[in-house]
Amino acid sequence: QVQLVESGGGSVQAGGSLRLSCAVSGDTYGRYCMAWFRQAPGKEREGVATIYKLGGSTDYADSVKGRFTISQGNAKNTLLLQMTSLKAEDTAMYYCAAEFVPRETCVLERLTVGLVSSWGQGTQVTVSS
């Protein structure tokens, strides 16, 4: 069982930056995939980025490549999402997620919403143009 608590959301103007954090507790040893998802009003939840706990391999949605960076904190019990050059279309509730899967499944094409069993409560990001 994994517990996830996000923080760091807020309001920012287009072009600005924010850093989201996710405090992770519980059993995260082994083949764990960590991820950020987001959900805008009236839209389905979508994957933003993934990182595999062992080795740190990452995957990004095309819409955020080159602007967002997913990483593990120094203490290894924190998941981060550094967001730069924010756009109005990045406005959404952002969720931290975790699932015990093999490395090859820790990519956005395969780590679907239905596959994830551990979710944070979400943190709101609002970007004004």
Q: What is the pLDDT of residues 37-56, one digit of tens each?
A: 999 999 999 999 999 988 88
pLDDT of residue 32: 87
CB neighbour burial string for 19-43, b if at least 16 within 10 angstroms, e if fewer: ebbbbbeeebeeebbbbbbbeeeee
pLDDT digits (tens, 9 = 90+) for 51-81: 998 888 999 999 999 999 999 987 768 999 9
* 116 token code pair: 């994830």
Mean pLDDT of the chain: 94
pLDDT of residue 8: 97
Is residue 69 within 8 A of residue 56, CB to CB? The reply is no
Q: Which residues contact 29 (CB under 8 A, 6 or more apart)?
A: none
